[in-house]
Amino acid sequence: MKTVDTRGLSCPEPVLLVRKAIMEGEYPFVVLVDDATPYENIRRYATNNGHKFEVVEEDGEYKFTFTE
Partner 1 sequence: MKKKNLIAVIVTGVLVGFAGVFLMIKGNPGNMGFCIACFLRDIAGALKLHTAPVVQYARPEVIGIIFGSFLISLITREFRARGGSSPLTRFFLGFMVMIGALVFLGCPLRMVLRMAAGDLNAWIALIGFVIGVFIGTLFLRNGFSLGRTYAKNPLEGAIVPVLQIPLFIMLLVASPLLAFSEKGPGSMHANIWLALILSLAVGVIGQRSRICMAGGFRDVFMIKEFHLFWGNIAILVVALVYNLINSSFKLSIAGQPIAHDEWLWNILGMLIVGLGSVLLGGCPMRQLILAGTGNTDSGIAVLGLVAGAAFAHNFGLASGGVSIVDGVRTGGTTANGRIAAIVCIVVMLIIGFAYSKKAAKSK
Distance CA 29, CA 65 (A): 6
How many positions of this chain bind partner 1 (CB under 8 A)?
20
Asked if 9 and 38 touch (Cβ cutoff 8 Å), the reply is yes
44: contact with partner 1 by CB under 8 A:
yes
Among 2, 10, 54, 67, binds partner 1 (CB under 8 A): 10
Q: How far is the CB of 61 from partner 1 (least distance, A)?
A: 11
- In this structure, are residues 1 and 28 in contact, taking their beta carbons and an 8 Å threshold? yes
- Is 3 a residue that touches partner 1 (CB under 8 A)? no
**Minimum separation from the CB atom of position 55 to partner 1 (A):** 11
- Determine if the peptide bond prior to 12 is cis (ω within 30°): yes
